[in-house]
Structure 1
Amino acid sequence: MRHLLSGIAITASLLFGPLAPASAQNPFEPVLYINDKAITRYEVDQRQRFMRLLGAPDIDAKGAEDALVQDRLRMFAAEQMGIETTEEGLQAGLDEFAGRANMNSAEFTAALERAGVEYQVFRDFIRAGVAWRGVIRQRFLPQINVSDAEIDQALKRQIETPIVNRVLLSELIIPAPEGREDEAMRLANSISGSNPNEAQFAEAAGRYSASDSAKAGGRLNWVNIDNLPPSLRPVILNLRPGQTTQPLQVPGAVVLFRLRDSQGSLRPGAREQVLDYMTLRLASASDAVSLAARTRSCDDLYIQAGAGISAQINRQTVSQNAIPALIATRLASLDEDEAAVVDYGNGSADLVMLCSRQPALLADEGADVATSAEAPDGVEAAIPDPSGIPTREAVREELFNRKANEMANAFLQELRADAVIRRP
């Protein structure tokens, strides 16, 4: 999603041509020193232009300075760790970034130069990013571990999160006639960047929008997500209620959407569970109660039951709807490795112990759950359509990257705190 939005912003900005001329001040005058390395006025001006083209229209000189300081710190860390950026790695980075705007690196460079941004600015920006990835790989990746339990929890959250199928939007359509596209984009960025609340967005829509909805503050009725253009769906689905999109350029206009509310439903089978549980028939309820009291886990049950009767323990993993009613009722109130007794009142009782409880969709994705029941056991019927659920490997990669980014950001803050940053 981040790449999609940045691609839209880059392509739109590059179409607008050169930005305003640079300041008449001495362009090569140092404005900042970091660890005794200068950042010049010219570098700040060029970075400011570059960042505006990447979709940050409100970036000021201070923001450009901060971005340059971070790049210097990234390069400093790479140098300290002996990490070098190869020409092949740098070119791959240039090509990858340009690809976000549906260009190759040569086309992207030419577009930047038409907008008054030198190639070296682009190259330095990518070099710092490539070097920083090397720092992350060397310093942090060996420390990062993503457990199966973390993957299970992430998948469970996704399964239990409703799939949005209807949205309540407000729109703001700013006319962008030929020759005034940049003016429309600046206005849209100003509105979006202010993080408007409902009343502020409605006021802006009433003032600037060319749509019929302007009279209603841009408010639209509920719309099915499938009725939206395919290219717009991921943009809207990435919003939380109260958020506004980045400006979206369409022929003759720049558009903003604000999500007021959303409705959704759970995936088919999301409420169905697969239970891994154990039962043991005993001669009396008191025997079952006594054994339950001294058993600490499913594995411990085999030990506490003793060699004489442990072979009679029945452990199975089945769909919730395939479990006998009395046993299912007892299992409903149990936590993992907790036991209860089903007293049949005829001189016999079952000790029932829950080993694990998983959403059926998660169990089908290959969670690390012991299984002994032979198919068909009801699990298939509980999972009519698992489409849309990411693989465990995809979730592992997402969690891994999140941890890496958190550690890298914390390290960058440490580098900044330790650096000597001063003005002339």
Structure 2
Amino acid sequence: MKVSAILRLTGLLVAATMAFSSAPGLLPNAMAASEIKIVVNKQAITSVDIARRVAFLRLQRTGGNLQAKAREQLIEESLKYQEALRIRAVVSQAQIDASYARFGKSNNLSVKQLNQVLNQAGVTPQHFKDFIRVQMSWPRVVQALEGTSGGGMSTQDLVSKMLERGDDKPSTTEYILQQVIFVVPSNKRSNATLNARKREAEQLRGRYQGCENAAAAVTGLRDVTLRNLGRIMQPQLPPDWKPLIEKTEAGATTPTRITDRGVEFIVICSSKTVSDDRAAELVFRAENSDAGDSETAKKHLAKLRESAVIANR
């Protein structure tokens, strides 16, 4: 399930706020005391976790046995998170916070207002952020699997399948990118430092003379990393950067972004339309399966569940 698909309409959020604020008795009583209800590979799921997920499901107007659905979702998310930890595919806190803020903005809510809605509904911001963490990290696990196994189908097979059903071979944009990072160590991460580094990054953007002169442009700058990202197809673009890259012309730079590493921007060295077999494969996968819900994902989750130690109490 995509984060963007959850609570998409502001009206639903506003209605939920009014409902819960006018009827405080609806807030889960289980918040008062926490008991361990499920253990997944030594990771505890408490009564509070379940109550918050039930509240989250109510906010989505989900029907049926909410207790059972909440328990099932939390077990699956524990397995997904543990696997993401194992292969070091967990997204950063900065990425989670950015996604949370974007979600609020898409519903015309500030972070403070979104916090209030979730607290009043009995969900809490932290529970929603934990949900976001899994939703963003699990596709990375699946992509790593599909990158190793080919997703169960070779490039040639995918292209043949498209042509057999009458599809034209799709095209996509191929980018050559550079990444510039104004590093801010975690122990020096303050608003003042980030703002100062952002000003430095904006100054460099203003005088950037293209990828050929990139090394010279950053020479002498303090704690600045230049990375040549090479050729990247449009479906492979990181979600956080994709809209910015797509709006930026070749030879220009994206706006700066504050990330867990510091302040960054991407340089579009070149872009062109390509329609080879590799491009067709990437477009096919992007259009026909959400990485987190693909057959590879389902099979791997089933495998994780089969080997897991799950105890219900």
Q: TM-score, normalised by structure 2?
A: 0.52
Is the aligned partner of 1:407 residue 2:311?
A: no
Q: Give the CA deviation at 1:57.
A: 4.0
Q: Give the CA deviation at 1:103.
A: 4.0
Partners in 2 of 1:50 and 1:73 — Cα distance? 20
Q: Give the CA deviation at 1:367.
A: 9.8
Pair 85,402 (structure 1): closer, same or farther in 2 beyond 3 Å: closer
Partners in 2 of 1:119 and 1:148 — Cα distance? 44
Partners in 1 of 2:65 and 2:112 — Cα distance? 26
Q: Please, which runs of 5 or more residues in structure 1 have no aligned partner?
A: 158-365, 369-390
Q: CA RMSD in A?
A: 3.6
Partners in 1 of 2:5 and 2:60 — Cα distance? 10
8 Å CA contact 1:7–1:102 kept in 2: the answer is: no
Residue identity opposite 1:151 in structure 2: M
Computing the radius of gyration from Cα coordinates, the structure with the larger value is 1
SS at match of 1:130: helix
Is the aligned partner of 1:38 residue 2:49?
A: no
Partners in 1 of 2:3 and 2:32 — Cα distance? 36
SS at match of 2:77: helix
Pair 99,394 (structure 1): closer, same or farther in 2 beyond 3 Å: farther
Partners in 1 of 2:292 and 2:49 — Cα distance? 32
8 Å CA contact 1:6–1:54 kept in 2: the answer is: yes
Match of 2:92 among 83, 86, 91: 86
* Total equivalences in the alignment: 195
Instruction: Note the alpha carbon deviations across 1:32-77, whole angstroms, 9 max, x for none.
Output: 1111221111110001101221231435111101111111101110
Match of 2:162 among 146, 151, 158: 151
Residue identity opposite 1:127 in structure 2: R
Partners in 2 of 1:91 and 1:403 — Cα distance? 20
Is the aligned partner of 1:397 residue 2:289?
A: no
Instruction: Note the alpha carbon deviations across 1:97-143, whole angstroms, 9 max, x for none.
Output: 44554545544333212322211101111111222122122222343
Q: Give the CA deviation at 1:396.
A: 5.0
Residue identity opposite 2:92 in structure 1: T
Residue identity opposite 1:417 in structure 2: E
Counterpart in 1 of 2:270? none
8 Å CA contact 2:81–2:134 kept in 1: the answer is: yes
Alignment of 1:331-410 (within 5 A): 394-395=283-284, 397-399=286-288, 401=290, 405-410=294-299
Partners in 2 of 1:125 and 1:403 — Cα distance? 13
Residue identity opposite 1:411 in structure 2: H
Is the aligned partner of 1:12 residue 2:12?
A: yes
Is the aligned partner of 1:132 residue 2:143?
A: no
Q: Give the CA deviation at 1:412.
A: 0.8
Counterpart in 2 of 1:29? 35
Residue identity opposite 1:423 in structure 2: N
Pair 101,153 (structure 1): closer, same or farther in 2 beyond 3 Å: farther
Counterpart in 2 of 1:108? 114
SS at match of 1:15: helix
Pair 21,87 (structure 1): closer, same or farther in 2 beyond 3 Å: closer
Identity %: 21
Partners in 2 of 1:58 and 1:3 — Cα distance? 21
Residue identity opposite 2:138 in structure 1: W
Partners in 1 of 2:146 and 2:10 — Cα distance? 31
Alignment of 1:8-407 (within 5 A): 8=8, 11-17=11-17, 18=20, 20-23=26-29, 27-98=33-104, 101-103=107-109, 105-144=111-150, 145-146=154-155, 147-153=158-164, 156=167, 394-395=283-284, 397-399=286-288, 401=290, 405-407=294-296
Pair 419,112 (structure 1): closer, same or farther in 2 beyond 3 Å: same
SS at match of 1:140: helix
Partners in 2 of 1:411 and 1:47 — Cα distance? 24
Partners in 2 of 1:26 and 1:403 — Cα distance? 34
Q: TM-score, normalised by structure 1?
A: 0.39
Residue identity opposite 1:15 in structure 2: A
SS at match of 2:16: coil
Counterpart in 1 of 2:214? none
8 Å CA contact 2:28–2:55 kept in 1: the answer is: no
Instruction: Note the alpha carbon deviations across 1:140-163, whole angstroms, 9 max, x for none.
Output: 234334432223345549xxxxxx
SS at match of 1:422: strand
Q: Give the CA deviation at 1:6.
A: 4.5
Partners in 2 of 1:23 and 1:82 — Cα distance? 36
Residue identity opposite 1:412 in structure 2: L
Pair 134,395 (structure 1): closer, same or farther in 2 beyond 3 Å: closer
Pair 75,407 (structure 1): closer, same or farther in 2 beyond 3 Å: same
Q: Please, which runs of 5 or more residues in structure 2 have no aligned partner?
A: 169-274
Pair 43,135 (structure 1): closer, same or farther in 2 beyond 3 Å: same
8 Å CA contact 2:30–2:47 kept in 1: the answer is: no
Counterpart in 2 of 1:421? 310
Residue identity opposite 1:116 in structure 2: G
SS at match of 2:29: coil
